[in-house]
Amino acid sequence: MLKSDLTGAATAERLALPRSLIPARRGGVWGDRLYQGMVRAAVLAFVIIVVGIAALLVYAARPALATFGWRFLATADWDPVAEHFGVLPFAYGTLVSSLLAMLLAVPLGIGAAIFLAELAPFWIRSAIAFLVELLAAIPSVVYGLWGIFVLAPLLRRWVEPPLGRWLGFLPLFQGPPYGVGMLAAGVILAIMVVPFIVAVSREVLLAVPNHQREAALALGATRWETTRLAVLRYARSGLLGAVLLGLGRALGETMAVTMVIGNRPEIALSLFAPGYTMASVIANEFTEATSDLYLAALIEVGLLLFVVTVVVNGLARLLVWSVGGAVKEVRE
Amino acid sequence: MSRAAARRATNAAMNVLAALAAVVVILPLVLIFGFLVFQGSTALNVDFFLHLPKPVGEPGGGMANAIAGSLILIGLAALFGLPLGILGGVYLAESRDRRLPWICRFLADVLNGVPSIVIGIFAYTLIVLPLRHFSALAGGVALGVIMLPIILRTTEELVRMVPASLREAALALGLPQWKVILRIVLPTARAGIITGVMVAVARIAGETAPLLFTAFGNRFWHHGLDQPIAALPLQIFAYAISPYDDWHRQAWAGALVLISLVLVMSLLARLATKGLYNRRGNYG
């Protein structure tokens, strides 16, 4: 707990000073108590809020939890009229769109981070880092707007037909090119999470101590070999953390995906087909949920999303911190 | 090709690829801003800032209520998130305890990664269900919870950066601890904390998902904090998915206004940090 070691009578006693030497302070004791009480209350409130989010979600999802049990996770049926609810089509959509996004965003993001941390001249570094920050600041709904009116038509006209023509033997690229669908969701998610991956990876790379690089360069390694052997290997758990942070974002991203994925609760193998994600079903149907069970089922979808993102983000944090810790140990 | 030449070639190729990756990452930014300015500016006029939305089919109208609504929601969120975040951040930085601050830091980072729509469900079950209708208050609380971890962590980091010598000097002069915090530590960390606040406001200004079923949206001026309220991102969403060309134009205009707001916040945050670095240099 908080101790005011440096202030007050405790210090005087420890130093065996006569009390008269400690200057009299008006309101010191009461003010300090008030201050301590306030900061402690704030921190306590914060902890209560975080725990409260989890508790309230479980509480509100109870009807669905009781009715469907584990079946909820394994049923592909989402029928509000008959009150059959299963999360599978949405879990599939969330998973596939996020994986697609990571497939595009990870190589690009780590490549850009290597450029920013290892290769680029100084003035370019700060300029690009600033632009990446701007990219991260664009609201989700603006990405969605752009996705509907620019990205989806672009995919429909220029990307999906050639993909279907050349790679159509794969089930992934079959069917009519709608524009909106899983592919559009994956691309917009990739654009949205790449700034996070770049920012965190860049920090992780910058945290790698310079003697790692100097040793490799002194042995005659080229710039790339230095990066690969001395920097990337040293930073790999932190980079994995950066990737997981990006994945956490992608899994929970709502508006932009809702606007471009097509919102059809079916599991289709083709990336051209419309899909649905856990976050978008909540966004679309929450205000329309007429029965208690329907609402509870949607809240259970939210609870699952909460659990998954907490696990992914918790893991990511620990990994990123582990590199920070390792760096500190080396420096000390 | 000799081995050395092959290594040099790989090196050059990887350098080019890394630079290319950086360019590709930046490319969507250019495309998005291009379209926003191009599409948004044609629909933007004075009416947009002064008028209520018109019914379908009637041209013109604006998003005055949504702009006001967004500002009210941000104000409510700040009212809730700022005191809690700053006080909590001071505790995390000043505490000698080892466990609780670590747990809080971890919780803050985890909360920062929780999807905003889940925070929306939290505000819905906490406020909308008991009060039985959508309200500005619920929207404000949802946004406040979203800004809380950002404020908490930046305050903590900045308070931690205040040199111990300043604190010790103040304590040695006989100042009580609360006065040291209030008059010495917080003012020294002020620029950085303001940066954190700006970053948090920029983030919540564009949040849409948690408002869908808390603030709900409203086509008119709002009447009290316990009533549904319009918000700029909600309005953009509703117009973007509508089938009307006129509403699409309004959505672009709204997006341009929203992004300008967010960028001004981000730039201000950056300027504030610049001042901070200079000042920190002086201590060194």
Please tell me the predicted confidence (pLDDT) of residue A293: 94
Nearest to B22 among A25, A116, A224 (CB): A116
Which one of A48, A141, A202, A318 would you mutate to disrupt binding with B, by most B Cβ within 10 Å of its Cβ? A141
81-100 in A: which are within 8 Å (CB) of B?
none
**φ, ψ dihedrals at B237, nearest 5°:** -60, -50
Same domain, A147 and A254: yes
**Residue after which a domain boundary falls, among A18, A45, A68:** A68
Give the helix/strand (H/E) hosting A41: helix A28-68
Domain identity same for A153 and A268? yes
CA distance B118 to chain A (A): 6
Please tell me the CATH code under which domain B48-283 is placed. 1.10.3720.10
Please say if the pLDDT value at position A326 is more than 80.
no
Given A2, A32, A140, which is nearest B208 (Cβ)? A140
Q: Are residues A48 and A144 in the same domain?
A: no
Q: Supply the CATH number for residue A249's domain.
A: 1.10.3720.10
Among residues A73, A71, A97, which one has the least CA distance to residue A276? A97
* A53 and A93 assigned to the same domain: no
Q: Are A83 and A290 in contact (CB under 8 A)?
A: no
Q: How far apart are CA A70 and CA A90, in angstroms?
A: 16
Report the largest interatomic distance among the alpha carbons of chain B, rounded to a whole angstrom.
78
ipTM entry: 0.91
- How many angstroms separate the CA atoms of B261 and B206, rounded? 9
Distance CA B83, CA B98 (A): 23
- Alpha carbon distance A75, A96 (integer Å): 17
Q: Do B84 and A45 touch (CB under 8 A)?
A: yes
**What global pTM score does this model have?**
0.89
Spatial distance between the Cα atoms of A232 and A113, rounded to a whole number of angstroms: 11
Query: Do B237 and A317 count as a contact with CB atoms less than 8 A apart?
Result: no
Q: Which of A23, A137, A148 sits opposite B266 (nearest CB)?
A: A137
Q: Across residues A71-99, what is the average pLDDT?
A: 93
Hey, what are B55's tokens? 């019914």
> Does residue B21 register a pLDDT over 50?
yes
Between A and B, how many residue pairs show a Cβ–Cβ distance under 8 A?
284
**What percent of chain B clears pLDDT 90, i.e. is strictly above it?**
65
User: Would the pLDDT of A5 be above 60?
Assistant: no
Q: Which residues contact A2 (CB under 8 A, 6 or more apart)?
A: A36, A39, A40, B91, B94, B95, B96, B97
Query: A218: exposed, middle or buried (C-beta count within 10 Å: 0-12, 13-18, 19+)?
Result: exposed
| Residue B10 to chain A, least CA–CA distance (Å) | 8
In terms of Cβ atoms closer than 10 Å to its own Cβ (0-12, 13-18, 19+), residue A208 is buried
For residues A202 and A121, state if they share a domain: yes
Residues A266 and A150 both lie in one domain: yes
Q: Average pLDDT, whole number, for chain B?
A: 89
pLDDT at A106 over 70: yes
Residues A48 and A175 in one domain: no
Shared-domain flag, residues A55 and A127 = no
Tens of pLDDT, residue by residue over A145-188, are: 999 999 999 999 999 999 999 998 888 898 889 899 999 999 99
The pLDDT tens digits of the residues spanning A272-319 come to: 999 999 999 999 999 988 899 999 999 999 999 999 999 999 998 888
Residue B265 pLDDT: 85
Q: Do A236 and A262 have their domain in common?
A: yes
Domain range for A112 is 78-331
- Among A196-210, A301-315, B45-59, which is the least confidently predicted range? B45-59
Q: Are residues A50 and A102 in the same domain?
A: no
Distance from CA of B276 to the nearest CA of A (A): 17
Is the pLDDT at A12 greater than 50? The verdict is no
Task: Judge if A93 and A200 occupy the same domain.
Answer: yes
Interchain contact A103–B (C-beta under 8 A): no
Q: Per-residue pLDDT averaged across B141-146, rounded?
A: 97
Min mean pLDDT across A76-80, A153-157, A223-227, A293-297 is at A76-80
Q: Is residue A2 within 8 Å of A36, Cβ to Cβ? A: yes
- The answer on A134 and A43 residing in a single domain is no
Which of B104, B111, B122 has the CB atom closest to A43's CB atom?
B104
Of the candidates A46, A68, A90, which is a domain's last residue? A68
Contact at CB, B174 and A22, closer than 8 angstroms? yes
Of A33, A68, A103, the domain-final residue: A68
Cβ <8 Å between B258 and A142: yes
